[in-house]
Structure 1
């Protein structure tokens, strides 16, 4: 081959390679780059390393997550999921109650956190004003003193979301290189997608303007959620209007849901048997690894036996009193408040208990490892839309993942949203859906919401 021909072939090869790279970049970007998210950064699925234990934590940034009032178990679960610190906005001197479960004082919570291996700080006294520059200064100081990631909390996850977002805005104002950059627009967009309304109170709006150094926003975005008091069940993740998702709810949660005004609870976990085989899913257990199977290969119950559970302990150095003052072992092997029995999660217990409340209950099971498709959603579509018309509905599974995929599509169909909206919303909830990530969900959304799906035309 003469030098000229060889040089020409090399040039053609590089041209083809460039076209291939460009095509790949367009393909990878096409499904997400045209969807502008209202989150501060790309959001991860809730729960850090233990999504079944911490499905209720709301991520603002990878290092800062917010929550409402925490029971003892939730504080310990925070440590097991990978949090290093807990910050309480208020130094609560009085104990509380949520669904009949005890909410410790700040002093008690600090002791529990220490046992769990967490740093703990309380920022404001009970009578201090949270909507102030002084509160933001104190929160900034607290955040600088503890290790990250941090779980920040208050009673209903409302005031802590407000102050933490303003902490980020204040950092952004004084440091042009701070990430994520939060201005007034981002503040209100993020709060709206989390279902929190900071727009109705003029004092709150004035403090936002003062901290950001920007004019008061006259018509900021508001959350579209019903019922208005949904934050009394702060653990839920608002999808849109009357649709909410959750991980496994506890027995005491039902009275809270009924009181707030929820009409229906949909359970997408498996029953005790599925397709003729034992199918009890797992419950969460203190000091026990999440994600381990219920049965062995012969469908013999395995996970909660003492002989096996010792192999899946998270921290063998934990003392027995980490579980309870009278525990003979340093791990938990039953969890009755999550409708657990000696094997694992028992849906029969939940369906029987919910009869005591004025809540409609539906079991629409989906395998946690199964594939999503147009046909799968078609199986439940009519029932989901019928339930949605009745009012506020909570859809739950073990970690909130499978119900997020389904509830976003149900909300889109009920409220006439399009394919692009569904992609935006599911990614804002922390579950990445694109042509290259969870593509089966992407295709399911496209099949139901994209009018050109049959012609293979996609966003």
Structure 2
């Protein structure tokens, strides 16, 4: 691996962390994302499906954008001597089976971690990694994080996936764990139910709040199709003088200003630079905007890696819905963010000290 892996990664913020830094999922990767995943420290990359050369066009960005086929991906990653790549299933095969979970088990236990498993939209890969953990937990086969049958659906719901909405998956978890079929499963509390089909790289936080890293300018049309109404930019276009800009950065969206409305999207930009510590004053800029625009609809907060956006969006959700500081830290942990700095804790205490603890 080229560098030590930590989460959130500067280069791989678009992956979804599952349980620990060893396991991540994603939707189908672009050539650039493959490069960043290898550079960012993933030792093993699995594609759930095989993608023939003729099925490599996508609408995630625009109609001109091609995604690498499995053979192209294999060729590209073969040049990275520290990265193992493998495709698991033929495209079109039903992945919702015990045999698929057992195949995932065989692979993840055979290759070096951290592991990234991707599929079309991140849904199937997230389920399979959680189902694998539930299976080994039920048999106490290793020291991986313990996951119960209910945890598969609970954690999935917290990440925005409605696994319980598919009776095949409910039956499958019952078979894998040997437990009775769950009669009720948690559902995601998100304003956009099928967000992963439309724009898998963003992450649901709670209800109308979503977060994202610094996306490309040609993603805006897709973002509008998701149904998002507000973009809150935690970057202002002021580069960090200590940061070496990469040539690819020029294609990313990084606009300065204050409030700007284009079509159905309202954009809000803070005055603070990208690396200013999060304080009550920082919070006040965004709080005033949200107070003055309470009914705009689903909100996506974005920054370079999603970390600063996560600080704001999780706090904003807790503040709006009277949730506790414990809820903030628990939700951050599910998303893979460690927010428990002394400065951030002071902000939580000031804003949320009267709120009762809320369980997930």
Q: Same fold (TM over 0.5)?
A: yes
Distance 1:137 1:381 in 2: 48
Q: Corresponding residue for 1:289?
A: none
* Contact residue 16 and residue 335 of structure 2 kept, 8 A: no
Q: Corresponding residue for 1:54?
A: 12
Q: Corresponding residue for 1:315?
A: none
Indicate how the Cα distance of structure 1 residues 256 and 206 shifts in structure 2: closer, same or farther if over 3 A, else same: same
* 1:251 partnered with 2:251: no
Q: Corresponding residue for 1:146?
A: 111
Indicate how the Cα distance of structure 1 residues 168 and 50 shifts in structure 2: closer, same or farther if over 3 A, else same: closer
Q: Corresponding residue for 2:201?
A: 235
Q: How far 1:355 sits from its partner (Å)?
A: 6.8
* Contact residue 7 and residue 336 of structure 2 kept, 8 A: no
Distance 2:80 2:261 in 1: 36
* Contact residue 56 and residue 69 of structure 2 kept, 8 A: yes
Q: Corresponding residue for 1:99?
A: 61
Q: How far 1:177 sits from its partner (Å)?
A: 4.2
* 1:226 partnered with 2:191: yes
Indicate how the Cα distance of structure 1 residues 369 and 96 shifts in structure 2: closer, same or farther if over 3 A, else same: same
Aligned length: 343
- TM-score when normalising by structure 1: 0.70
Q: How far 1:49 sits from its partner (Å)?
A: 7.1
Match of 1:82 among 41, 47, 61: 41
Indicate how the Cα distance of structure 1 residues 293 and 204 shifts in structure 2: closer, same or farther if over 3 A, else same: same
Map 1:209-220 → 2, pairs under 5 A: 209-220=174-185
CA deviation map 1:306-338 (0-9, x unaligned):
xxxxxxxxxxxxxxxxxxxxxxxxxx6343321
Moved more, 101-110 or 243-252: 101-110
Map 1:408-427 → 2, pairs under 5 A: 408-427=314-333
Distance 1:126 1:385 in 2: 47
Q: Corresponding residue for 1:265?
A: 231
Query: What are structure 1's unaligned runs of at least 5 residues?
Result: 1-46, 272-278, 282-291, 295-302, 305-331, 340-345, 453-459
Match of 2:120 among 151, 155, 168: 155
Q: Corresponding residue for 1:184?
A: 149
Distance 2:126 2:333 in 1: 20
Distance 1:175 1:187 in 2: 16
Distance 2:25 2:107 in 1: 15
Q: Corresponding residue for 1:371?
A: 277
Indicate how the Cα distance of structure 1 residues 385 and 106 shifts in structure 2: closer, same or farther if over 3 A, else same: farther
Q: Corresponding residue for 2:358?
A: none
Map 1:290-301 → 2, pairs under 5 A: 293-294=242-243
Distance 2:6 2:293 in 1: 31
* Contact residue 243 and residue 388 of structure 1 kept, 8 A: no
Map 1:122-137 → 2, pairs under 5 A: 122-137=87-102
Match of 1:449 among 341, 345, 352: 352
Indicate how the Cα distance of structure 1 residues 418 and 389 shifts in structure 2: closer, same or farther if over 3 A, else same: farther
Q: How far 1:234 sits from its partner (Å)?
A: 1.1
Match of 2:247 among 333, 341, 350: 333
Q: Corresponding residue for 1:347?
A: 255
Indicate how the Cα distance of structure 1 residues 387 and 218 shifts in structure 2: closer, same or farther if over 3 A, else same: farther
Distance 1:127 1:195 in 2: 24
Distance 2:77 2:144 in 1: 29
Q: Corresponding residue for 1:22?
A: none
Distance 1:386 1:374 in 2: 18
Distance 2:203 2:290 in 1: 18
Map 1:298-313 → 2, pairs under 5 A: 303=244
Following TM superposition, the consecutive aligned residue runs of length 4 or more in structure 1 with deviations greater than 4 angstroms are: 354-357
* Contact residue 318 and residue 324 of structure 2 kept, 8 A: yes
Q: Corresponding residue for 1:457?
A: none
* Contact residue 44 and residue 114 of structure 2 kept, 8 A: yes
Map 1:10-89 → 2, pairs under 5 A: 48=6, 51-60=9-18, 61-89=20-48
Indicate how the Cα distance of structure 1 residues 112 and 104 shifts in structure 2: closer, same or farther if over 3 A, else same: same
Distance 1:429 1:74 in 2: 20
Q: Corresponding residue for 1:111?
A: 75
Distance 1:140 1:176 in 2: 11
Q: How far 1:386 sits from its partner (Å)?
A: 4.1
- TM-score when normalising by structure 2: 0.88
Q: How far 1:58 sits from its partner (Å)?
A: 1.1
* Contact residue 164 and residue 185 of structure 2 kept, 8 A: yes
